[in-house]
Each structure stands twice: as C-alpha cells, then as structure tokens.
C-alpha cells in the first residue's frame, strides 16, 4: 500500500507547500522510517536540521492519525487474493510473520482490519531502536 498521499494530506493541513508525487515518494522510501524520511525531505528543502526534525515529528504524527482514521473507517482493504494466499499458507502449516519499519500505532490496526489474525508475529519499527541501514535491523 502506497502511503505517499497521506504525507501530502499532512502537508496540506499544515499549509506547507510540500508535495510528494509518485516518483518523489518512491525515492523517499530509500530512507527508512517516516519521521526520518520527512526530516531528510524538510532539511533538503531548506529547513535547518532542528526545524526539520521538529516539523517531521509533528507531520509524521499527523500522517499516522490520518492513516488510523482511514483504517477505522474501513477505507483500507487487503489487495484481492491476499487473504486467500495467507489462508493457503496457514493450511499448509507455514507460519507467517510481518517485519516493518512502520509504527505499531498504525500497523496493528491495519493488519487486523485487512487480514484479521493471520500473522504469527508482527515486529514494527516501534520495537527496533535502530532502523536500516543499521546491519542489526
């Protein structure tokens, strides 16, 4: 699921001129963690490191709130065939795990909404102190 539009909504709400098109968002995901991605973007576009970090935290928090609202309203659905595929894996005895740099605040509601209890383990960026490119991540 591409979430670039969520960042754009968070930018617009704050009256910021920033906008991520598909290519910009695609390049941004080379930086793991939404807040770090935003801080890099803001600093690259002329804000001081301190201002970029503070603004990134606020906009990332708002992006997460928007995402959670979308999930709660049932507007986020699994891709066609995804739940069937997960069910086939479970029926064959395979365990299915999720590892993501996304925060638990939106990952768990999303997975529950879209997939129910189909995952054996979910590890999010919330539990990992150092995200990629740290080799331990």
Q: Using one digit for the tens of pLDDT, what is the confidence trace for 12-31?
A: 999 999 999 999 998 988 89
Domain identity same for 19 and 56: yes
Question: Taking the mean position of all CA atoms in its chain, how far away is CA 80?
Answer: 20
Nearest-angstrom CA–CA distance, 137 and 131: 5
Task: Give me the residues of the chain with pLDDT under 70, please.
Answer: 1-2, 134-137
Domain identity same for 69 and 93: no
Collapse the DSSP code of 100 into the 3-class scheme (helix H, G, I; strand E, B; otherwise coil) and give the result: coil
pLDDT of residue 129: 79
Strands, E assignment, 15-124: 97-99, 121-123
Enclosing domain of residue 91: 82-123
Domain identity same for 98 and 58: no
Q: What is the CATH number of the domain that holds 47?
A: 1.10.150.240
**Domain count of the fold of the chain:** 2
Using an 8 Å Cβ cutoff, are 126 and 105 in contact? Answer: yes
pLDDT of residue 53: 97
């Amino acid at each position: 699921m591409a979430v670039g539009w969520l960042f754009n909504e968070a930018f617009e709400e704050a009256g910021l001129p920033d906008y991520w098109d598909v290519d910009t968002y695609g390049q941004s995901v080379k930086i793991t963690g939404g807040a770090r991605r935003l801080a890099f973007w803001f600093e690259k576009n002329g804000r001081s490191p301190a201002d970029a970090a503070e603004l990134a935290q606020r906009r990332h928090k708002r992006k997460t709130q928007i995402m959670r609202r979308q999930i709660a309203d049932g507007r986020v659905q699994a891709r066609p065939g995804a739940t069937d595929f997960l069910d086939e894996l479970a029926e064959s005895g395979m365990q299915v795990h999720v590892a993501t740099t996304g925060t638990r605040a939106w990952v768990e509601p999303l997975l529950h909404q879209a997939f129910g209890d189909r995952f054996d383990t979910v590890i999010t960026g919330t539990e990992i102190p150092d995200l990629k490119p740290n080799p331990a991540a």
